[in-house]
Amino acid sequence: MLVFGYFLDDIPKAYKGVAYNIHKLTGLTIFVLMILRAFWAWINPKPKLPATDPSWQRLGARIVHLLLYVVVIAMPLAGWIGSSAAGKPPRMGDVQLQLPITQSKALTEVAFDMHYMLAITIIVLVSLHALAAFYHYFIEKDNILQRMLP
Query: Residues in the site for ligand HEM, rule: CB under 6 A?
Result: 1-2, 5-6, 8-9, 20, 23-24, 27-28, 30, 72, 75-76, 79-80, 83, 90, 112, 115-116, 119
Amino acid at 69: Y
Beta bridge partners of 127: none
Residues 13 and 42: their CA atoms lie apart, in Å, by 43
Shortest distance, CB of residue 52 to ligand HEM, whole angstroms?
Answer: 35
Query: DSSP secondary-structure letter at 46?
Result: P
Residues 8 and 17: their CA atoms lie apart, in Å, by 10
Judged by beta carbon, residue 61 or residue 85, the one nearer ligand HEM is 85
Q: Strands (DSSP E) along 4-133, which ranges?
A: 91-92, 95-96
Shortest distance, CB of residue 103 to ligand HEM, whole angstroms?
Answer: 14
Shortest distance, CB of residue 83 to ligand HEM, whole angstroms?
Answer: 4
Judged by beta carbon, residue 31 or residue 137, the one nearer ligand HEM is 31
Judged by beta carbon, residue 72 or residue 125, the one nearer ligand HEM is 72
Query: DSSP secondary-structure letter at 140?
Result: I
